[in-house]
Chain A
Amino acid sequence: RETSNTAGGGTGHALPVRTPRFSSCFGVVMGTSVKYSSRGPALIPRMKSKHRIYYITLFSVVLLGLIATGMFQFWPHSIESSAEWTVDRRSVHDAPLTLAVACTPALICALNLLLQVYIYPLQRFVDDVGVPISSTGLSREYNDLLSAISDSDFYTDDVTRACLFVPSIDVLNQNSLRIRETAQALATLPRWDKGMNHLLFNMLPGGPPDYNTALDVPRDRALLAGGGFSTWTYRQGYDVSIPVYSPLSDEVDLPERQPGPRRYFILSSQTAIHREYRVELERLKEENGEALLLLDKCSNLSQDMASARKRCYKAINMSLLTVLGARLGQATLSDVLQAGCVPVIMADSYILPFSEVLDWKRASVVIPEEKLPEMYMILKSIPPRQVEEMQRQARWFWEAYFRSMRAIGLTTLQIINDRIYPYAACTYEHWNNPPVVKWSSVNSPLFLPLIPPRSPGFTAVVLTYDRVESLFRVITEIAKVPSLAKLLVVWNNQNKSPPEESLWPKIAVPLKVVRTKENKLSNRFFPFDEIETEAVLAIDDDIIMLTSDELQFGYEVWREFPDRLVGYPGRLHLWDHEMGKWKYESEWTNEVSMVLTGAAFYHKYFNYLYTYKMPGDIKNWVDAHMNCEDIAMNFLVANITGKAPIKVTPRKKFKCPECTAIDGLSLDQTHMVERSECINKFASVFGTMPLKVVEHRADPVLYKDDFPEKLKSFPNIGSL
């Protein structure tokens, strides 16, 4: 029967013993109290009653103080107060941050939902004869792990707020544990409660001869983050499969190498392969010669495992063979990934590390053990380009999730966190895309290939200040377009009221006037509730030269490319080599990378993005300069979809005949300089140049074809 009443100091068989510094400290205090109590009883009877009360009070105060101090010592105190701990913390701070910050959920994934993890104070457990329950005690790795957790955002020192508890009992390696005693020690943890919400980390489960695939220590309902689960022991959605950490990665520095073919095609670096497999591998080597490299035990027996593995590093190999040893989880996997080799996993029923979130198919080759004889053929059939991609992916997995105990620990917590808050979980792309890919990839918010129906039509949004006459002409022209559903006039002039209702042109579709509070260019992209259709036509109040056919055709083109800007006048950005910066170009060019929003169709979702999700201070810049709102929109759309805009129909003179040169903004020379500046400014805010250059524009199928005009759907295109 084992009990242990730590706070009361009762003697149990597995009595926790404090770390040395504290026990000695306690000893001193204890001595005093003993002295006190031995004299006390003898003195009290001789005392006067008034002093008696005084002394008893004093005595109890002192005693209470002592008890309180004692309690403080015994109570699960925060780990930081241990000297040992402090030293390790320092070393952790020096270590480079890896995974991590990439997935600091507080920043990226969560809606303020974060798992709270509590770590039990460091204790050393011994049995009643004083033999520790573990032969190694606290290992370096477990210490690293705990300090990484205590440094992370997951950590809480408030036991009542914690959702997950991590015992400070090191069970990483089952071989160094006394199983029964460890279970007893776990059971003494104050909040153990059959292991509910407790997380154990174990990398080497089982022991000879049968090598179970999960920690043998009875753990009730505790979650197990284990290396080497098999499909039978892994409790899907509950346990977490973790890698077996390779301490070697700390000792050997392997810089990232370019993926590509290397000297050896296949390498087997494990020395503890069963003879049956060894024979098979040697046969393969005989058949295929130099492509295979089998590392054997060194003849010099004084060399240990570590050096054998170091040799593996030096070998320039391409893909690596991991044949099952006695265990499923192998530290070799970590070495393989670090070396940028593709692991070939031949371990039936092995649950790969972090398989819940990592897509191993992109980084490894899994072959059933039975097929070992065909291994060479199978690996040869994989195209080199694929091997290169896998090499890249493998190295990234190592850097992000395998490289340190910190990475392993935090990844485990993140996975558990994602399970608890699935609505705020990290995405597949987040887990699996290397930073380079994350940076260059685009995840278009409108990814479904839909060609929206024609019937809802589009809403025209006309931005105007005070050019009423021109505005009315524009309205009359647009009203002729068959698919126009609604007309919205954004009245940007605060000093002047829009004309009376009776003066507006009579058109067949609803016409709404919205008055704005400030004269801002950004108002034209505001997601007004009045916009009910998906398609929006942004148009200036001086664009009167577009024919109804051209506008209708523009809408048809937008339907085929609903995730792009579809506009009429096209513009280009160019790299000015002399100045070393971007330049805006409005001349007759063969290329297009922007369309002006003086006349452009786009999805109304981009209004929402422009108004609420525009990066940096671009919106303010636009409003302050009264310019470049269209360039900003082009940047935004290209950045989020990775696609170029579509210019429709031939070039026209986009100068309204009536307007004077001063009125038409676009003519001014300073205006051009300012727009070049905009491009440079926006490129620096986006951190990249998202605009895509294309050399095509869209015309009706039969445009300029020798075909009767009256049979064409859009005959009136390109007329001046």
Chain B
Amino acid sequence: MQAKKRYLLVSAGACALLLAYAWTLRVAELHTRLPQGPVLPAPPPLRSYLEGAEHEEDGPLLLHQHTSPRERRDVHRNMYKSRRCRMETCFDFSRCRHAFRVYVHPPARGEATSEGYRKVLAAIEESRYRTRDPAEACLFVLGVDTLDRDRLSPQYVPDAGGRIRALPLWNEGRNHLVFNLYSGTWPDYAEDLGFDAGHAMLAKASADAGNFRPGFDVSIPLFPREHPLKGGGRGRLTTNDVPPARRYLLVFKGKRYLTGIGSETRNALHHVHNGDDVILLTTCRHGKDWEKHKDGRCDRDNEEYGKFDYQELLHNSTFCLVPRGRRLGSFRFLEALQAACIPVLLSNGWELPFSEVIDWNKAAIIGDERLLLQIPSITRSVGADRILALRQQTQLLWDSYFSSVSKIVLTTLEIIQDRIHTHMSRSKLMWNTLPGGLYALPQFSTEPTLFPFYYGLLGIAPQQGFTAVIQAVTSLQSPLQPILKLIIAVAKSKFCAQIVVLWNCDKASPHQSKWPSVPVPFTVVEGRRKTMSGRFFPHDVIRTDAVLSLDEDSVLSTNEVDFAFIVWRSFPERVVGYPARSHYWDAGKERWGYTSKWTNEYSMVLTGAAFYHRYGTHMDRGGGGASGQHLANCEDILMNFLVSAVTKLPPIKVTQKKQYKETMMQQGSKSSRWADPDHFAQRQSCTNAFTDWFGFMPLVRSQLRLDPVLFKDQVSILRKKYRDIERL
């Protein structure tokens, strides 16, 4: 049995070896568990990834090797053309050295322009960017209607390409902006404009991310022909119901394409439709010969389709499905936004409208066409808090960027302007929170902390001091003049940081010694125009955020100033002041009325004595419409319009001693504009002119006045902080 022994020995040896091996493994494992174990040999130190490379790059040899930046830029310009355009290769920045101006090529005589494009051009015409001089233009917009480039459409403009090429300033499309809503046609709906847009930027609806040139093109929403030029319908959200008490969860109602591109998504919707809270209705009944292609489900679908009213669905649903149609974008998108119905997007590859600046995750659910069946469970899993936020965001975006053609066009222009003036462009924060990018203008600042709107979001409080800006129109004659008393009263306020007198009088400003000596910096600025509007000129001397605007004949005590300022610090984005006015709808004359009578409501606070934030003086006053000469005396009304348009809230009236009105009447000297009989009529017409310019009535009424906490309470006056307000 020698062999057997040998075998045994060998197998025993093998087993021993295995055991030994297993043991080593265990030990190794043990070591890994006890990193501090002394057995581990120190591994060689690893080297940095930069070693070698950085030297090479910065080496003196290389310094001369690579091409000069100018050459590189030229190479890029040749390389990255038309379909690969970027701002730096296809846009001529040198045309925009000064201001951002847009020139519209005059449309050819007798040319048929679609209603949509007429509105686009009108919006540019009315904006403060338009120029009539092509030499100072930075951006050019075509006069030829390029909105509809679907060859089968009646709106299609034939030979657009030839006409565009014939433009003397076309320059291969450099610095041009081409608006387009529909491109390509049946059957493939390729993104084909039917002409070579060359180096021109496209502001295009239904943009395909594959063809979209990031940072160069602008994706715009698809808007219907009836979309208003300005003003526009307000968002439909009136109440913030929590939990959302809408009847339906998810709805859709629209056409279904039986074959061809984009048909799969809508054809599959019936899988998700449950007839209860998920209502997805499609119809095949459209086009000439639908019956030829109709499939088994058509009749059933059509029957169901007729049962529901689209508007009713839209306004009673939490989510609205926005599936792609033939093209990527559809009208359903804007409709859902306006109705505060959270859009659920099913359109893979769609570059969402204004995606460069808008954070759509805050306002929509971006689904995936391939995962249609998951959509109901995704929407069900969205919590009440999120729905509340999403829904408010839809309204914010609708109101800020989409409610009118003018807003869509202006947003496009502002986005392009931000690209050109890169060092003063708006941050995502400013685009995606109230009041939106069209009101938070970079002309004021691009730093969000300087605006009053973001105080809460950024956790900061308004500044402690204010600047008093006093408008002087009569020359100084006696030391008893109200303006001197006013200066002393204001200067006594512990919040007063600075006093500025705008000297708008025909006579030269008096000598320094004539003014009372005050403990705060005191400046006299010579008015440039002898009008009220000089007051709202963004003067550089004003250093604080808060401005107290005063007429020379205002009568205010230090107490009143202090109290109004304290109130303003709670409402820094609004106008906070004393004399209030109201607007009303005059049904008989079918126009707005303006009244200074005492009423139970007010919608304006006159800036004869009011606090406002400095941003108010930097707002868009339009190309001319709103600041025309005949409206010059209405600057304070305009201020209220602007601030209310931005905040969508009424101004705030604070209490004051009851002398203001009386004093003003007595003071009615020759120069006082209040005594002017035309004055009132003028302000009435201003109200209407501004409303026309805005396209809607931005003023909001308020029924309350803010008083000191113990105002006229039956308690010892010694306990009260603002005693003077009650004393007569």
B residues in contact with A173, CB < 8 Å: 49-50, 52-53
User: Do residues A590 and B447 form an inter-chain contact, with CB atoms below 8 A?
Assistant: no
User: Do residues B705 and A272 form an inter-chain contact, with CB atoms below 8 A?
Assistant: no
User: Do residues B428 and A135 form an inter-chain contact, with CB atoms below 8 A?
Assistant: no
User: Do residues A138 and B432 form an inter-chain contact, with CB atoms below 8 A?
Assistant: no
The stretch of A474-482, A500-508, A690-698 in contact with B is A690-698
How many Å lie between the Cα of A211 and that of B62 in the bound state?
A: 12
User: Do residues B239 and A534 form an inter-chain contact, with CB atoms below 8 A?
Assistant: yes
Top 4 closest A-B pairs, CB basis?
Answer: A440-B459, A139-B49, A441-B459, A386-B447
Within B697-728, the residues touching A (CB, 8 Å) are 700, 702-713, 715, 719-722
- Nearest B-chain residue to A431, judged by Cβ: B428
User: Do residues B388 and A696 form an inter-chain contact, with CB atoms below 8 A?
Assistant: no
Q: A236-B214, A361-B428 are in contact. Are A608 and B384 (CB under 8 A)?
A: yes
Q: Does A288 have its Cβ within 8 Å of any Cβ on chain B?
A: no
User: Do residues B58 and A271 form an inter-chain contact, with CB atoms below 8 A?
Assistant: yes
The stretch of B3-11, B170-178, B251-259, B680-688 in contact with A is B3-11
Most chain B Cβ neighbours within 10 Å, of A47, A423, A692: A423
User: Do residues A700 and B600 form an inter-chain contact, with CB atoms below 8 A?
Assistant: yes
User: Do residues B599 and A701 form an inter-chain contact, with CB atoms below 8 A?
Assistant: yes
- Nearest A-chain residue to B20, judged by Cβ: A28
Q: A86-B32, A208-B66 are in contact. Are A304 and B423 (CB under 8 A)?
A: no
User: Do residues A592 and B709 form an inter-chain contact, with CB atoms below 8 A?
Assistant: yes
Q: A62-B15, A368-B88 are in contact. Are A591 and B709 (CB under 8 A)?
A: yes
Per-residue interface assignment for chain A, residues 684 to 711, with 1 indicating a CB less than 8 Å from any chain B CB and 0 otherwise: 0000000010111111111111110001
Q: Does B598 have its Cβ within 8 Å of any Cβ on chain A?
A: yes
User: Do residues B28 and A331 form an inter-chain contact, with CB atoms below 8 A?
Assistant: no
Instruction: Choose from A305, A325, A389, A651 the contact partner of B55 (Cβ within 8 Å).
Output: A305
B residues in contact with A153, CB < 8 Å: none
Q: Does B40 have its Cβ within 8 Å of any Cβ on chain A?
A: yes
How many Å lie between the Cα of A356 and that of B206 in the bound state?
A: 22
Within A351-390, the residues touching B (CB, 8 Å) are 359, 361-362, 365-371, 378-379, 381-383, 385-386, 389-390
Instruction: Write the nearest CB–CB distance from A415 to chain B, whole angstroms.
Output: 13
Instruction: Give me 18 A-to-B residue pairs in the complex whose CB atoms sit less than 8 angstroms apart, sorted by A's number.
Output: A84-B43, A136-B47, A211-B66, A245-B49, A305-B55, A348-B88, A359-B428, A361-B426, A370-B88, A370-B93, A423-B365, A441-B457, A452-B240, A650-B711, A697-B707, A699-B704, A699-B706, A699-B707
Instruction: Choose from B28, B359, B704 the contact partner of A698 (Cβ within 8 Å).
Output: B704
Instruction: Write the nearest CB–CB distance from A534 to chain B, whole angstroms.
Output: 5
The stretch of B405-413, B499-507, B650-658 in contact with A is B650-658
Within B436-470, the residues touching A (CB, 8 Å) are 445-450, 456-460
Instruction: Write the nearest CB–CB distance from A80 to chain B, whole angstroms.
Output: 6
B positions within 8 Å CB-CB of A? 3-4, 6-7, 10-11, 14-15, 17-18, 21, 24, 28-29, 31-32, 35-36, 40-43, 45-58, 60, 62-70, 73, 76, 80, 84, 86-88, 93-94, 209, 214-215, 237-243, 245, 359, 361-362, 365-366, 378, 381-382, 384-385, 388-389, 392, 395-396, 422-429, 432-434, 445-450, 456-460, 563, 566-567, 570, 580, 598-602, 647-650, 653-655, 658, 700, 702-713, 715, 719-722
- Nearest A-chain residue to B425, judged by Cβ: A361
Q: Does A644 have its Cβ within 8 Å of any Cβ on chain B?
A: yes
User: Do residues B654 and A232 form an inter-chain contact, with CB atoms below 8 A?
Assistant: no
The stretch of A273-281, A485-493, A624-632 in contact with B is A273-281
Q: A51-B4, A590-B709 are in contact. Are A172 and B49 (CB under 8 A)?
A: yes
Instruction: Choose from A66, A642, A651 the contact partner of B456 (Cβ within 8 Å).
Output: A642
Q: Does A603 have its Cβ within 8 Å of any Cβ on chain B?
A: yes
How many Å lie between the Cα of A711 and that of B601 in the bound state?
A: 12
Q: Does A3 have its Cβ within 8 Å of any Cβ on chain B?
A: no
- Nearest A-chain residue to B340, judged by Cβ: A448
User: Do residues B86 and A437 form an inter-chain contact, with CB atoms below 8 A?
Assistant: no
User: Do residues B711 and A697 form an inter-chain contact, with CB atoms below 8 A?
Assistant: yes
Q: Does A98 have its Cβ within 8 Å of any Cβ on chain B?
A: no
B residues in contact with A208, CB < 8 Å: 56-57, 62, 65-66
Q: A62-B11, A650-B712 are in contact. Are A701 and B706 (CB under 8 A)?
A: no
How many Å lie between the Cα of A137 and that of B45 in the bound state?
A: 12
User: Do residues B598 and A707 form an inter-chain contact, with CB atoms below 8 A?
Assistant: yes
Instruction: Choose from B11, B65, B566, B653 the contact partner of A695 (Cβ within 8 Å).
Output: B566
B residues in contact with A643, CB < 8 Å: 456, 570
Instruction: Choose from A143, A367, A452 the contact partner of B46 (Cβ within 8 Å).
Output: A143
Most chain B Cβ neighbours within 10 Å, of A272, A304, A367, A382: A272
User: Do residues B700 and A451 form an inter-chain contact, with CB atoms below 8 A?
Assistant: yes
User: Do residues A275 and B63 form an inter-chain contact, with CB atoms below 8 A?
Assistant: yes
Instruction: Choose from B395, B427, B708 the contact partner of A361 (Cβ within 8 Å).
Output: B427
B residues in contact with A651, CB < 8 Å: 710, 713, 715
User: Do residues A331 and B707 form an inter-chain contact, with CB atoms below 8 A?
Assistant: no
Instruction: Choose from B3, B429, B434, B460 the contact partner of A359 (Cβ within 8 Å).
Output: B429
Q: Does A46 have its Cβ within 8 Å of any Cβ on chain B?
A: yes
The stretch of A6-14, A395-403, A555-563 in contact with B is A555-563
Instruction: Write the nearest CB–CB distance from A334 to chain B, whole angstroms.
Output: 12
Range, interface on chain A: 35 or more
How many Å lie between the Cα of A358 and that of B76 in the bound state?
A: 27
How many Å lie between the Cα of A276 and that of B66 in the bound state?
A: 12
Most chain B Cβ neighbours within 10 Å, of A65, A203, A423, A449: A449
A residues in contact with B719, CB < 8 Å: 588, 590
Instruction: Write the nearest CB–CB distance from B27 to chain A, whole angstroms.
Output: 11
A residues in contact with B653, CB < 8 Å: 701
How many Å lie between the Cα of A349 and that of B385 in the bound state?
A: 39
User: Do residues A170 and B49 form an inter-chain contact, with CB atoms below 8 A?
Assistant: yes
- Nearest A-chain residue to B360, judged by Cβ: A422
User: Do residues B31 and A86 form an inter-chain contact, with CB atoms below 8 A?
Assistant: yes
User: Do residues A87 and B35 form an inter-chain contact, with CB atoms below 8 A?
Assistant: yes
Instruction: Choose from A176, A450, A456, A588 the contact partner of B713 (Cβ within 8 Å).
Output: A588
B residues in contact with A142, CB < 8 Å: 49
Q: Does A713 have its Cβ within 8 Å of any Cβ on chain B?
A: yes
User: Do residues A605 and B601 form an inter-chain contact, with CB atoms below 8 A?
Assistant: no
- Nearest A-chain residue to B60, judged by Cβ: A297
A residues in contact with B86, CB < 8 Å: 231-232, 348-349
How many Å lie between the Cα of A642 and that of B461 in the bound state?
A: 11
Q: Does A417 have its Cβ within 8 Å of any Cβ on chain B?
A: no
User: Do residues B602 and A272 form an inter-chain contact, with CB atoms below 8 A?
Assistant: no
Instruction: Choose from A383, A450, A706, A712 the contact partner of B445 (Cβ within 8 Å).
Output: A383
B residues in contact with A84, CB < 8 Å: 43
User: Do residues B3 and A43 form an inter-chain contact, with CB atoms below 8 A?
Assistant: yes
Q: A204-B53, A231-B215 are in contact. Are A700 and B63 (CB under 8 A)?
A: no
B residues in contact with A46, CB < 8 Å: 3
User: Do residues A588 and B445 form an inter-chain contact, with CB atoms below 8 A?
Assistant: no
Q: Does A249 have its Cβ within 8 Å of any Cβ on chain B?
A: no
User: Do residues A699 and B388 form an inter-chain contact, with CB atoms below 8 A?
Assistant: no
Within A227-286, the residues touching B (CB, 8 Å) are 231-232, 236-237, 245, 247, 271-272, 274-277
How many Å lie between the Cα of A601 and that of B184 in the bound state?
A: 57
- Nearest B-chain residue to A360, judged by Cβ: B427
Q: Does A90 have its Cβ within 8 Å of any Cβ on chain B?
A: yes
How many Å lie between the Cα of A85 and that of B692 in the bound state?
A: 72
User: Do residues A702 and B427 form an inter-chain contact, with CB atoms below 8 A?
Assistant: no
Instruction: Choose from B52, B429, B702 the contact partner of A175 (Cβ within 8 Å).
Output: B52
- Nearest A-chain residue to B35, judged by Cβ: A90
How many Å lie between the Cα of A176 and that of B51 in the bound state?
A: 9
Per-residue interface assignment for chain A, residues 27 to 44, with 1 indicating a CB less than 8 Å from any chain B CB and 0 otherwise: 011001000100100010
